[in-house]
Structure 1
Amino acid sequence: MIEILPAPDHVAAYRLSGELTGEDYDKVVADLEARLSRHDKLGVYVDMVDFTDMTAEALIKDLRYAFSKFGELKRFPREAVVTDRGWVKALVGLVDPIYRHTEIRTFAPDEREAALAWAQAIPA
């Protein structure tokens, strides 16, 4: 399940919990595209503390959307990931250097406010 969280309009903020479905992912894409139509750049905040898994359909949609935005990564300069799982932190550590125009950081669950503040302070 995905919940769209309250945040400034230039920040796409989501809480993932349980298993993410293709329908959930469609909701995120619609929200991202609406925000991108209003802003040149977006900060991203993702709370993954209660996330457990994603369906094959959601994974395919995620990969398809990510590849479609590959040339637009400058539009996503910061992504804050809230997690308490080591595998998510390790994955972020591997992926962050690959995305030259996007800085990705992990934050502990008790740092949610700091994570949102960091995501919304996107560079000009």
Structure 2
Amino acid sequence: MSIELIPTKSDAAIGLSIDGKIEASDIDRISEAVEKRLQTHEKLRVYVEMKRLGGISLEALFEDLKLALKHFKDFDRKAVVCDAKWVEPAASVSNRLFPQIEVKSFPFDRQADAMNWICE
């Protein structure tokens, strides 16, 4: 498993830790968590710790796209914790392309700030 579901301070937030190549089974677990949380919450938030991204399989990419299209309007915030330099510009682009989902990036030394922001 390259994506692990991790606890958050809010039941309306899904926590993910990414470390390696993303496979379809990873997306399936995320999809199950999303569906379960949407039974009790109108909007969800995502907290992502990106330790190492080793790519994504083609099957996982298709599953991820299906999940994103199905739940496009079900999310309002996403926090990405990562020290890679490309994450902050990617978050900025995402905010312009998808203004209904506010995305912020945080370095690993500010994990607590990211968790607090996503769960407020």
TM-score between the two structures when normalised by the length of structure 2: 0.91
User: How far, CA to CA, are the matches of 1:62 and 1:90 in structure 2?
Assistant: 21
- 1:16 alignment counterpart: 18
User: How far, CA to CA, are the matches of 1:80 and 1:54 in structure 2?
Assistant: 20
Q: What stretches of structure 1 move > 6 A for 4+ residues in a row?
A: none
Q: Which has the higher helix share?
A: 1
- Count of aligned residue pairs for this structure pair: 118
- 1:85 alignment counterpart: 84
The alignment partner of 1:84 has SS state of coil
> Which residue identity does 2:51 align to in structure 1?
V
Q: Which has the higher strand share?
A: 2
Could you tell me how far 1:35 is from its partner in structure 2? 0.6
User: Gaps (5+ residues) in structure 2?
Assistant: none
User: How far, CA to CA, are the matches of 1:84 and 1:60 in structure 2?
Assistant: 27
- 1:100 alignment counterpart: 99
The alignment partner of 2:20 has SS state of strand
Could you tell me how far 1:102 is from its partner in structure 2? 1.1
- The structure 2 residue matched to 1:43, chosen from 38, 42, 45, is 45
Equivalent pairs: percent with the same residue? Answer: 31
User: Gaps (5+ residues) in structure 1?
Assistant: none
Could you tell me how far 1:36 is from its partner in structure 2? 1.0
Deviation per CA, 1:61-116: give whole Å up to 9, x if none.
1112111223x2xx311110011112222222211112121110000011111101
